[in-house]
Structure 1
Amino acid sequence: MARTTTVLLVGGSGHWAGRENHAPALLDMQNSGWPVRTAVICDPRDPEKRAQDEGMAPLRELLVRDAPQWLNPDGLSRTELESVLDGAHAAHRFSLVIIACDPVHHRDYILWAISRGISVLCDKPLLVAEGAAHDPAAAESINTSYAAIERALTRARATGPCHLAMPLRRRANDVYRSVAADIAEVQSTYGQGITSMQLIKNGGLFRYPEEYLFGDAHGYRSGVGALSFSSYHYIDLLAWYLELAPGEATAVRVTNPYVRRVGDFLRTRQAAVLADLIGAGDTGRSVALPPQVLAAEADFVFNLELLGEDGRKAGLVTYSCHSNTYSHRSVGPQEFDRANRQPFREKGRMSQFTLDINQGSLQHIGIFKNDVVGEDYRIRVQRRRTPVVAHEPYAEEVFHNAHAGSSVTPQDVLQAMVRLVSGVSTPAEVADRIAFFEGQRLSHHLFGTFYELIAAGSVAGSAVGSANGGAAERFVELTT
């Protein structure tokens, strides 16, 4: 028999938790008879009001069924928050904490939970620090916080099971796992690792200046931008593939040749031309944005030189992110947005990327996606292998409805975590697709290192950042 899972849902009033993933997954488990209950929602936004105003039917149903207590953390110090959470834990005895709040607060909730032996499922990015785009100390705290969590997990596990995982869609998705299998096969059979990997991501996120002050969990007001918004998925993808096929590489030398910050972007013609065509070009142009918003990263490039044991260059990985690219946005600012009630993903955001992978002379894989966010995504994968090692040198496949149609989804991962903390084995087809903390070391360290370099560029330039990231570099070991 499964033990009842009592959930603390942090950030439960947001769209991802309340409409798209967490609430629906928990309701589905209840409908199947599974003993799980959301006892507390911790969020500065009133879940009752959010469910009504935003039309979040799953959140509204969860509130009716479980009648969770609402905790408002707004204005509380870390010590005060821990005291409030301890009181709630004493009353409800949480067995799982699901974290879906502003990422700058993830660290505090994670450390509180695992220090008390409570398992955690935390949305990406696992760790980011307020002001990391312009404050070197804040940026460096990302990796030091990782080490603190690692130590806390070790202490917690000395007395019993304690899990920390992330519902990473790409780690569980059929498309990316098929590519991973091809990469691993060439590495294991021929000893050929990845020698070049280039990822170009386009966000299409057109915003009016005033809209940089909005955005719920992923706003720019915390002094972080596009890197913490969606880039962790892609950083993790690069790290995952690189760990599967490192070849001769034992470390990477990371540099940041280009950064364009919000302040840089808003001084360009590009920042106004679409607004002029929409017919609302003057709206919001006179808004005085705070320095931390202007310094937040919008576009950036990172180079990862692959280095062998003797320092010999073994290849190159490049990640380019451009937030302000083609957008299908056709409307100006709305009063609904000014009330901070509507996420901007429905206002022009794109999901476009090209990933080009080479394993020496033996294999090339290309992955291509070009969709409006919210559509049924289509991903095209092309693979070529040299004819001397393959009976089928060229193969191509298009995955339709690639995210929702995957055999394992983020909802499946959440449900697997509920089963795990309830003392019931997780289905085999899902178990190896849960992205546990232990398997994310390289991804987390690259993410933190990227922020260290962005912050170093800010110090080297002006108060709102310079056009490049300076001459700084960092080295990251590939071994886990």
Structure 2
Amino acid sequence: MARTTTILLVGGSGHWAGRENHAPALLEMKRSGWPVRTAVVCDPRDPEKRARDEDMTPLRELLRTDAPEWLNPDGLSHAELEAVLDRAHATHRFSLVIIACNPVHHRDYLLWAVSRGISVLCDKPLLVSEGAAYDPAAAERIIGGYAELGRALSRARTTGPVHLAMPLRRRANDVYRSIASEIAELHGAHGQGITSMQLIKNGGLFRHPEEYLYGDAHGYRNGVGALSFSSYHYIDLLAWYLELAPGEAVALRVTNPYVRRVGEFLRTRQATALADRIDTRGVRIPDLPPEALAAEADFVFHLELLGAAGQKAGLVTYACHSNTYSHRTVGLQEFDRADRQPFREKGRMSQFTLDINQGSLQHIGVFKNDVVGEDYRIRVQRRRNPVISAEPYAEEVFHNAHAGSSVTPQDVLRAMVRLASGEAAPSQVADRIAFFEDQRLSHHLFGTFYELIAARADAAGPAERVVELAG
């Protein structure tokens, strides 16, 4: 039997950790007989109170079975937080740190854990800096933070195995892996890389104006917005596919032709048209702090594919629109002001279109249009030129595409528990874990996007960045 895996759960009082993914995955491992214990929950919100007041049955059960210590990091300096964590580690000897808190705090926990030789599973985005949407220095700290984390990881591994990964659904999901196989197969057989890729993401998450102050890790008070929320998944998807089929491209010229900030959005009729219909008290535009007003709501990025001689080999476009169609039918309620209602249940949509071309040889179209929380349906169409394929056209609809995948984020978490215990990850999961080393391009694109968004707030900032595809 493997040794007990002792968990530090950072942000364990949130809905993703306490209800939807982390707590259920850990409870399942306990029921199967695996020796795992959540020793400490680190969160400014009291986990016992959260479990009582909200529909968090998994968190309530985890607290009952493991009786973890609660650490409240609110108001602690960096040095004080490290001291508190060191004392907890001396008592419990953590095997694995699971990080699910506000992403602007990820860096402190990541560096603390890795520098002490503790494996980590961290939610997306791995790193982001407070104020990165408008402060160029803050934006530049993102890529610098990746380099710092990489150095700390290398040092830690001189004395033993240390694993750092993210539970990225799309890297593990059957749908996106099937697309990856099609892309890689054609590239391997014909040397044809991706020449155009366009992804349009519609968030549909309607907020009343004052709700930009709410939302815990998905709030806008830290001077970062929609790019820090679900966008990392899609940036990683684009980077993953580009690395599978680069063709003649060796670098990307990245530009940001459009960004609309929260303050700009609130000056439009779009900001109140739905609110007027679902809240009888009337809609008032509050005096939001400048950090929230400057955070990004909608944006577009262009990635020109460049060959070794500087020739243009194609174009990748990512467009994110936060405030699109929403099915929300409820107005602002009192429990919203206490951050007790997760925004995914307030009208959020999961809509996107992904269009991929590999020259004249292959086209793949991916389509999704669902309410968050429903059983997702993803439709994939593929065409190959008849001279290279006996099956020029294929189409498949993946029903219950997320929960029905053969590997889910809960499986990834359980595999990381095994790795942290010194055991091997299950073979069907091992190659679907998104480790830190697998995401160099994703990290650089995410940081570069913020550098360009911040540059638009600073007239002296750069208009473009060049990112190497490999290296």
TM-score by length of 1: 0.97
1:401 maps to: 400
Aligned position for 2:378 = 379
Distance 1:262 1:28 in 2: 41
Structure-2 separation of matches of 1:123 and 1:181: 25
* Unpaired stretches in structure 1, ≥5 consecutive residues: 462-469
| Counterpart amino acid of residue 35 in structure 1 | P
1:72 is matched with which residue?
72
Displacement of 1:280 after TM fit? 3.7
Q: Following TM superposition, by how much is the alpha carbon of 1:281 offset from its aligned partner in structure 2, in angstroms?
A: 7.0
- Matched residue, 1:464: none
Aligned to 2:358: 359
2: distance between equivalents of 1:259 and 1:15? 29
| Cα deviations by residue, 1:69-113 (Å, 9 ceiling, x for unpaired) | 000000000000000000000000001000000000000000000
**Which residue in the other structure is 2:466 paired with?**
475
- Deviations 1:123-173 (CA, angstroms, capped at 9, x unpaired): 000000000001000000000000000000000000100010000000000
Q: Give, in whole Å, the separation in 1 of the partners of 2:53 and 2:326.
A: 27
Runs of 4+ in 1 over 4 A off after TM superposition: none
Structure 1 residue 395: Cα displacement: 0.3
Q: What is the rounded CA distance, in whole Å, between the counterparts of 1:323 and 1:460 in structure 2?
A: 25
5 Å-filtered alignment, 1:439-450, equals: 439-450=438-449
Q: Which residue of 2 aligns with 1:466?
A: none
> How far did residue 460 of structure 1 move?
2.5
Aligned position for 1:44: 44
> Sequence identity, in percent?
82
Secondary structure at the aligned position of 1:382 is classed as strand
Please tell me whether residue 316 in structure 1 is matched to residue 319 in structure 2: no
Residue matched to 1:82: 82
- 1:368 matched to 2:392? The reply is no
**Secondary structure, in 3 states, of the residue corresponding to 2:272?**
helix
2:25 paired with 1:34: no
Structural RMSD (CA): 1.0
Residues 85 and 471 (structure 1 numbering): CA distance in 2 closer, same or farther, change over 3 Å?
A: closer
The equivalent of 1:223 in structure 2 is 223
**Distance in structure 2 (CA, Å) of the matches to 1:203 and 1:419:** 35
State the Cα distance separating 1:55 from its structure 2 match.
Answer: 1.8
Give the aligned partner of residue 135 of structure 2: 135
Structure 2, unpaired ranges of 5+: none
Distance in 2 separating the partners of 1:205 and 1:459: 28
**Could you say what secondary structure the match of 1:460 adopts?**
coil
Match of residue 278 from structure 2: 278
1:282 positional shift: 2.7
Q: Which residue of 2 aligns with 1:201?
A: 201
Other-structure match for 2:236: 236
Q: Distance in 2 between matches of 1:188 and 1:279?
A: 56
In the alignment, which residue of structure 1 is the partner of 2:247?
247
Secondary structure in 2 matching 1:474: strand
Separation of aligned partners in 1, 2:303 and 2:438: 20
Kept in 2: contact 1:358–1:365 (CA 8 A): yes
What letter corresponds to residue 459 of structure 1 in structure 2?
D
| Counterpart Cα distance in 1 of 2:75 and 2:110 | 19
Measured in 1, the distance between the counterparts of 2:8 and 2:462 equals 44
Q: Given that residues 279 and 332 in structure 2 are in contact (C-alpha distance below 8 angstroms), is that contact kept between their aligned partners in structure 1? A: no
Query: Alpha-carbon deviation of 1:58?
Result: 0.3
Q: Quick check: 2:452–2:462 contact (8 Å CA) kept in 1?
A: no
Distance in 2, matches of 1:228 and 1:237, equals 15
Alignment partners' CA distance in 1, 2:463 and 2:229: 24
Match of residue 122 from structure 1: 122
1-10 or 236-245, larger mean C-alpha shift: 1-10
- Residues 323-346 of structure 1 show CA distances to partners (whole Å, capped at 9, x for unaligned) of 000011111100111121111111
Q: Which moved more, 1:213-222 or 1:272-281?
A: 272-281
Task: Report the residue type matching 1:134 in the other structure.
Answer: Y
Q: Offset of 1:478 from its aligned partner?
A: 0.4
How far apart are the structure 2 equivalents of 1:362 and 1:228? Answer: 35
* Matches of 2:276 and 2:303, distance apart in 1: 39
* 1:364 alignment partner, SS class: strand
Contact 1:272 1:281 in 2 (8 A): no
CA deviation after TM superposition for structure 1 residue 422, in Å: 0.8
- The separation in 1 between residues aligned to 2:144 and 2:213, in whole angstroms, is 29
Contact 1:275 1:281 in 2 (8 A): no
1:341 is paired with a residue of what secondary structure? coil
Equivalent-residue separation in structure 2 for 1:280 and 1:314 (angstroms): 54
TM-score, length basis structure 2? 0.99
Q: Is the 8 A contact 2:376 2:400 kept in 1?
A: yes
Q: Which residue identity does 2:76 align to in structure 1?
A: L
Q: Deviations over 1:374-430 (max 9, x none)?
A: 000000000000000000100000000000000000000000000111111111110
**Equivalent position of 1:467 in the other structure:** none
Residue 273 of structure 1 aligns to a residue whose secondary structure is coil
How far residue 471 of structure 1 moved from its aligned partner, in angstroms, is: 6.3
Inter-partner Cα distance in structure 1 for 2:350 and 2:126 = 22
- Structure 2 residue 419 is the aligned partner of structure 1 residue 428: no
- The amino acid across from 1:251 in the alignment is A
Task: Tell me how many residue pairs correspond in the alignment.
Answer: 471
Distance 1:229 1:281 in 2: 30
Distance 1:185 1:280 in 2: 56
The answer on whether the counterparts of 1:103 and 1:218 sit within 8 Å (CA) in structure 2 is: no
